[in-house]
Amino acid sequence: MGMPAKARVCAYAVLRRVFEQGAYADRAVQAEAKELDARDRALAMRLAYGTVQRKGTLDHLIEHLAERPPGRLDAPLLAALRLGLYELLYLSGAPDRAVVADGVELAKGGARGGHGLVNAVLRRGVREGPALLDGLSDGTPAQAAIKHSHPEWIAQLWWEQLGASDARALMAYDNEPGEVALRVNTLLTDAATLASELPVATHADSGLPEVLVLEGPFDAHDSPAWRAEAFLAQSRAAMHVARALDPQPGERVLDLCAAPGGKSTHLAALMQGEGEVVAVERNPRRAGMLTRTAQRLHAGNVRVEVADAATLRPEGAVFDRVLVDPPCSGLGTLQARADLRWRVTPEHVREMTRSQAAILAAGAAALRPGGVLVYSTCTISPTENERQIAAFLDSHPDFSRDDLAAELPALRMRPPEPSTERGSVSTAGLVLTLPHRDRTAGFCIARLRRS
Task: Assess contact for 262 and 151: CB atoms under 8 A.
Answer: no
Task: Assess contact for 88 and 125: CB atoms under 8 A.
Answer: yes
Question: Quick one: DSSP state of residue 71?
Answer: G
User: Which residue(s) pair with 198 in the sheet?
Assistant: none
Residue type at 249 in one-letter notation = P
Q: Which three-class secondary structure state does DSSP give residue 231?
A: strand
- DSSP state string for 342-402: HH--HHHHHHHHHHHHHHHHHHHHTEEEEEEEEEEES---TTTTHHHHHHHHHH-TTEEE-
Neighbours of 195 (CB within 10 A): 16
- Region at 117 (left for phi over 0; alpha for psi -120 to 50; beta for the rest): alpha
Q: Which of 10, 257, 328, 378 is catalytic?
A: 378
User: Which residue(s) pair with 305 in the sheet?
Assistant: 280
User: How many separate helices (H) and strands (E) can be counted in the chain?
Assistant: 20, 12
Give CA–CA dist 16/24, Å, rounded.
11
Q: Tell which residue, 157, 126, 128, 131, has the closest CA to residue 144.
A: 157
Give CA–CA dist 221/177, Å, rounded.
19
Neighbours of 376 (CB within 10 A): 25
Neighbours of 172 (CB within 10 A): 16
Sequence-separated (6 or more) residues with CB below 8 Å from residue 77: 107, 110, 111, 114, 115, 117, 118
Is it true that the peptide bond before 260 is cis, omega within 30 degrees of 0?
A: yes
Q: Which three-class secondary structure state does DSSP give residue 254?
A: strand
Burial class, 273, CB count within 10 angstroms (exposed 0-12 / middle 13-18 / buried 19+): middle
328 is catalytic: no
Give the active site residues. Answer: 378
